[in-house]
Amino acid sequence: MNITTLTLTAALVLSVVGCSKTETPSATPNPSAAAPAAAAPAAQAGSSYDLVAANGKGFTVGALMSAQPVYVLFDPQCPHCGRLWQAALPLHSKVKFVWIPVSFNPAKSLPQGAALLSAANPVDTMTAHEQSLLAGTGGMAASADVPEELKQAITNNTQLLNQLGVESVPFLLGKHRKTGDIVSYNGAMETAALANLLGVE
């Protein structure tokens, strides 16, 4: 199988920066704050997809019967992740997304990630959370008393992100609908660009 990655030109067109492990997330992302970044090198994209598929724990939304899930590693406190969530909503009828929470800020990200993983209706819960986050109100309230199983899952997700060598979120891995090629992307993007990346009409 041929592995495809975004060219630098495409990355420049599509990218809105992400939240890194060392920065404090802001509710008003500054697109000029960092250089755009395409994600994993071509040689690593296939193994990265399989690694995330086998080891990431997330919640699934969208076209649940699709055989080609798109994995998104995200931090619940990252506004760029919120923008990608909003961009992905119109594609839910066509694409199966698995959102995998990581924790750069354990005091806030870990409880919110746990609440999202255990939500009865992840779409409504995530949408309300991201609207609150982007409005500058910090996202949903979540209990700091996180069950050990969920705490371990989010810790493992964060270690998985580190294992991939990715420095910021959102980080997306998927398969192009038409070619089957594995695509990866680091950052937020608009709905049309996301559909194009995934080969969705």
Would residue 39 count as lying in a domain?
Answer: no
Would residue 101 count as lying in a domain?
Answer: yes
Would residue 26 count as lying in a domain?
Answer: no
Q: Are residues 79 and 134 in contact, defined by beta-carbon separation less than 8 angstroms?
A: yes
Could you identify the residue written with the tokens 């709905």? 191
Domain at 164, CATH number: 3.40.30.10
* pLDDT reported for residue 77: 97
Low-confidence ranges of the chain (pLDDT < 70): 1-18, 20-46
Burial class (CB in 10 A: 0-12, 13-18, 19+), 177: middle
pTM of the full structure: 0.82
* pLDDT reported for residue 19: 82
Would residue 25 count as lying in a domain?
Answer: no
Q: No. of H helices and E strands in the chain?
A: 7, 7
Would residue 33 count as lying in a domain?
Answer: no
Into how many domains does the chain fold?
1
* pLDDT reported for residue 15: 39
Would residue 192 count as lying in a domain?
Answer: yes
* pLDDT reported for residue 44: 58
- Residue 124: which domain range? 8-13+46-169+176-198
* pLDDT reported for residue 195: 97
* pLDDT reported for residue 133: 94
Spatial separation of the C-alpha atoms in residues 97 and 63, rounded to whole Å: 8
Would residue 32 count as lying in a domain?
Answer: no
